[in-house]
Amino acid sequence: MLRSMMAIAAGYISMLVINSLIHVITSVYFKTGLSLTGISHLSSMPWIAGITGLQLLLGLFGGLLATTIAQSKQHIAILGFVLLMVIIGLFNYTALSTQEPLWYLITAPALRITGILAGYRLIQLQNKSNTANGV
C-alpha cells in the first residue's frame, strides 16, 4: 500500500515539475508574468496546441513512472493516480475557470488521464512480453 502511494506521489510530482518548468520557460520566453499553469498567457495557437498536447506526454511519463515504482499492485496505483487527477482537475476548474478557457480545463485533465492509462498499458504489455519470452 505504501509503495502504491509513493508511486502515485512520484508520478504526480514528476508531472507537476515538468509542467511547471515548461510554463516558466514559456513565461520567460513571452515576457509575461510568471504562470505555472494554463494557456491564457500564451500568445499564439501553435503554442496553445503544443502545451495542450504536452499534457498527454506528461500523463504518459507519470503513468510509466508510477507503474514502474508500484511493481506488484500496479492497477491500484493507477486507479489512485487517475482519481487524484480527476480531483485535481475539479480543483483547477474551480480555481481557474475565470482565467482559462473551459475547453482547456476539460481537455488537459482528460489528456493526462489518457496518458496515465497508456503508460500503464505499455508497462503491462512489456511485462506480458517478458513473461512470454521467459525473461
Burial of 91 by CB count in 10 Å (0-12 exposed, 13-18 middle, 19+ buried)? exposed
| Mean local confidence (pLDDT), 43-59 | 93
- pTM for this structure? 0.92
Please give the average per-residue pLDDT across 117-133, as a whole number: 92
Q: In sequence order, which residues have a C-beta less than 8 Å from that of residue 47 and are 6 or more positions away?
A: 26, 39
All 3 cell numbers of residue 25? 520557460
Mean pLDDT of 41-55: 90
Confidence of residue 15 (pLDDT cuts 50, 70, 90): very high
Q: How far is CA 127 from CA 38, 74, 86, 133, in A?
A: 36, 12, 27, 10
Q: Is residue 55 within 8 Å of 112, Cβ to Cβ?
A: yes
Every domain of the chain and the residues it spans: 2-132
pLDDT confidence tier of residue 1, bands split at 50, 70 and 90: confident
Determine the Cα–Cα distance for residues 71 and 54; give it in Å rounded to an integer.
26
